Every structure is written in C-alpha cells, then in structure tokens.
Amino acid sequence: MLQSRLFQGFRIVPIVVVKILIALSLDQWLGETRRWHPLVGFGHLAANLESRFNRHPASRTSIGPGLIAWLIAVVPWVGLSVWLSATPAGFVFEIAVLYLAVGRKSLFQHSQRVYQALSSNNLEQGRYHASRMVSRDCSSLDQSGCARATTESVLENGSDSIFGALFWFALLGAPGAVLYRLANTLDAMWGYRNHRFLWFGAPAAHLDDLLNLVPARLCALCYAFAGRTSNAIASWRRFARQLSSPNGGPVMAAGAGAINVRLGGPAVYHGVEQDKPYFGGEEECRPEHIVQANRLVDRSLLIFILLFSVLAYTGHWFVTGEAL
C-alpha cells in the first residue's frame, strides 16, 4: 500500500499521527484558503435548507424539521468521505480534509491583529479586529475588554477549531473530521436560542454539544498540563459550571487559569447586556495575554499529539504484540 511504501522507515510513528503532522504543516504553510473553501459552499447549502425547512418558526413546536435538515446537510458528505478514504487516493484525501478542518493559523492571525493594534494604542482597530472574532458588541470596549474578548476567543476556538477536529480525525479518520466540522458549522449558523432558531436549531446545538463533550475536556486537560496546572484545575473546578456553554466552560476556565488571567465579565450581545461572571486567574487581562493564549494552545497541541502517539503505539502493541 501507499502508506507502507512511504513510511516504511518510520514505523514507530502511527500513520494517523503522520497525517496530522502533515495537515498541520500545510495549515501553517498555506493558512486558510481564500477561494473555493468547501465550508463556504456548505454554508450556502445550509442557508437554503434552513429557508426550506424553517418557513414558519413562530408556529414551530417540534425539532423534526431541524433534525431532517441537519441529516440532509451532513450525512451525504460523511458518506462520501468514507468512500473516498477507501480509494487509492485515500491517504492524500484524508490529509486534505484535516487541513481544511483545522483553523490554527487563521485563529492566530486574527488574534495577532488585535494584539498589534492594542500594542500600538490603536483602540479603534483593536475593537474592529476583535469584532471579527467574537459575537459580542465591541464598539465600547476598552483595551482590557478587547484583550479579554480576544483571549477568550483564542482559548475557546482552540477547542472548536483545532482539538475537536483532531480528536474526531484521530478516532474516525476523515469521516470523523467531516462530521465534526460540518456539525460545528451548523451549530454556528442554526444553534441560536432566539425566536427563529429555538426549535429548528435545537438539534444542531445539541449534536454539536455531544460531539464536543470529550474533545473539549481533553483540550481543557491539555491546557492545564501546558500551563500553571494547579491554577488551571482550580479554575476549571470553580468556574466551569458558572459559564453558559457546557463545553466552552471547562475550556475557557482551565485556559484562563493556566495563564493566570482574569476573563469574563459583563458583555453586550445584540444590544442586550449580559452579566457574565468573571473567571480564571488573578491578573487583569492585557494584550500580552493574547500571545500567551496562542502559545498555550500550541503547547497543548504538542501534548495532545505526543499523548495520542503513545496511546496509539501502546494500543497497537497490546492488541497485536508487535511494534508499529
């Protein structure tokens, strides 16, 4: 097979880890594709499905239409990825899928723009770039508020944009990464608790929560090991349940504790102020914490890859009695 010919001299490294490393290298080299990204086309498909299946949200009291639309949007692409993964070009296809599914470089680039603007005392530019990363109203944020919003986004999206895709790829290959990324996209489009999406978007929101249940906590654990471990664990235990997101809570609480920064606080969403709790460490958030959050994500990613490599190698040896 192609895999065995290419990596015969590197059998100590599980093939799935090789694929992950190549995909992450492509992401670092190429970044997010600016044209013809598959998720753009998928977004158009999702919008069309929503317009067809959610025509009368005021009278809706069933999640059925939303679930049917979710299945139509996701299942065919997962099935196609199963078939393509089994073809002779499956090795290349799986790397390409993971490259498109992760968003490490894009996340860091967006956050770096906020950091550079705030470091240059250009608050207006900082607010503008922060608004492109978060859903809250950034127009009245001060420097610390912009830094908090961006740092929270880096920590949370470290799970959503990186760890989740890697976890499901490691577990199920390209079909797992496709399933996760499409479900995550539909949650971002449909998973609102408002008049329009309360019933229709409920399946997308709950399925995304289910898919993130394990990887989010794995991400939080890696954050803890990659930073101030005792602070991270204490913050996770104290604050995770106080945050609104069942999966984002552990991730952001552990991440904030790991770099000892105080995040959260009141925020304005769609013109309404929400009294969100403060959480994390003791230091007031500064632009430098954005950089620290990026570095924490990278260290955590390295821990995840090393941990998975050891588990994959040990599991193979335990089952077969042979080295990889």
Closest CA to 168 of 232, 219, 116: 219
Q: Are 228 and 258 in contact (CB under 8 A)?
A: yes
DSSP-based three-state secondary structure for 46: helix
- The crossing angle, in degrees rounded to 10, of helices 229-239 and 248-258 is 140
DSSP-based three-state secondary structure for 268: strand
Closest CA to 220 of 201, 246, 194, 200: 246
What is the chain's pLDDT, residue by residue, as a tens digit (324 residues)?
444 444 443 454 578 999 999 999 999 999 887 777 899 899 999 999 999 999 888 677 889 999 999 999 999 999 999 999 999 999 999 999 999 999 999 999 999 999 999 999 999 999 999 999 998 899 899 999 999 999 999 999 999 999 999 999 999 999 999 999 999 999 999 998 888 899 999 999 999 999 999 999 999 999 999 999 999 999 999 999 999 899 999 999 999 999 999 999 988 887 788 888 999 999 999 999 999 999 999 999 999 999 888 887 776 566 566 655
Domain boundaries of the chain, sorted by first residue = 10-320
Pairing of strands 267-269, 261-264: unpaired
pTM exceeds 0.85: yes
